[in-house]
Amino acid sequence: MKSFRPTTPSRRQMTVVEYDVLSKTAPFKSLTKKIKECAGRNSQGRITTRHQGGGNKKMYRMVDFNQNKLNIPGRVETIEYDPYRTAFIALVVYKDGERRYVLAPKDLKVGDEIVSAENAPLKTGNRMMVKNIPIGYLVHNIELAPGEGGKMVRSAGSFAEILGQEGRFVNLKLSSGEVRKVLADSLASLGQVSNPDYSLTVIGKAGRSRHLGIRPTVRGKVMNPCDHPYGGGEGRTQRGTRKPKDIWGNITGGRKTRDKKKRSNKFIIQRRKK
* pLDDT value at residue 28: 93
Tell me the pLDDT of the chain (274 aa) as tens digits.
898 899 999 888 899 998 988 999 999 999 999 999 889 999 999 999 999 999 999 999 999 999 988 889 999 999 999 999 999 999 999 998 899 999 999 989 999 999 998 888 899 999 999 999 999 999 999 999 898 999 999 999 999 999 999 889 999 999 999 999 999 999 999 999 999 999 999 999 999 999 999 999 999 999 999 999 999 988 888 888 889 999 999 988 888 888 999 998 999 999 888 7
CB of 122 closer than 8 Å to CB of 140: no
* pLDDT value at residue 121: 87
Beta bridge partners of 24: none
Distance, CA of 41 to chain centre: 22
Which structural domains are found in the chain, ordered by start?
18-199 (2.40.50.140), 222-265 (4.10.950.10)
Cα separation, 132 vs 189, in Å, equals 12
* pLDDT value at residue 258: 86
Amino acid at residue number 259:
D
Distance, CA of 27 to chain centre: 20
Beta bridge partners of 189: 127, 140
Cα separation, 268 vs 180, in Å, equals 4
Helix (DSSP H) and strand (DSSP E) numbers for the chain: 2, 17
